[in-house]
Amino acid sequence: MQLDAGVVTRCRRRVHLENDPDVVQAQSAPPDLVAEQRKADAAAHRRGVATALGRIVGSDLMEIPTGPDVRTADRERVTLAAMQAGTQFIWGAVLPRDESGGRRGGIDLLVKDSTGYVPVLVVRHKITDPGQGARTSSLAYPLPGASRADPLRRVRPQPRDQLRLAHAQRQLQAAGYAVRGRASGGVIGMDADVVLWHDLEAPTWPGGRTALSEYDARFSDRLSVAHAAAGGAEPLARPSRIVECKSCPWWPNCEQDLRRGRDVSLVVRGEDAVVLRRVGVPTVDALAALDPAKELTPLVGMPFSDAVVLARAWLRDLAVVRRVPRVDVPRADVEVDVDMESFADLGAYLWGSLLSGADVGEEHGYRAFATWEPLPTNDEGRSFGEFWTWLTGVRLRARARGLTFRAYCYNELAENRWLLASAERFAGQPGVPTIAQVKEFITSDAWVDLFGIVREQFICAHGKGLKTIAPVAGFTWRDPEAGGENSMRWYRDAVGMDDGEPNDPQRLRLLEYNEDDVRATHALREWMTSDAMARLPFAGDL
Cα–Cα nearest to 225, from 238, 208, 212: 238
Q: What confidence score (pLDDT) does residue 23 get?
A: 79
Q: Please state, for a pLDDT cut of 70, what percent of the chain lies above it.
A: 98
Which is more confidently placed, 38 or 139?
A: 139
Per-residue pLDDT at 393 exceeds 80? yes
Q: What confidence score (pLDDT) does residue 500 get?
A: 81
Q: Determine the average pLDDT of the residues in 429-453.
A: 97
Helices and strands counted in the chain (H then E) = 17, 17
> One-letter amino acid identity for 222?
R
CB atoms within 10 A of CB 488: 17
Contact 274, 53 (CB under 8 A): no
User: 29: pLDDT confidence band, cut at 50, 70 and 90?
Assistant: low
Per-residue pLDDT at 30 exceeds 70? no
Q: What average pLDDT does the chain have? A: 92
Contact 47, 120 (CB under 8 A): no
C-alpha radius of gyration, the chain, whole number: 27
Per-residue pLDDT at 25 exceeds 60? no
Cα–Cα nearest to 11, from 284, 246, 210: 246
Q: What confidence score (pLDDT) does residue 486 get?
A: 86
User: 73: pLDDT confidence band, cut at 50, 70 and 90?
Assistant: very high
Q: What confidence score (pLDDT) does residue 4 get?
A: 95
Q: What is the pTM of this model?
A: 0.80
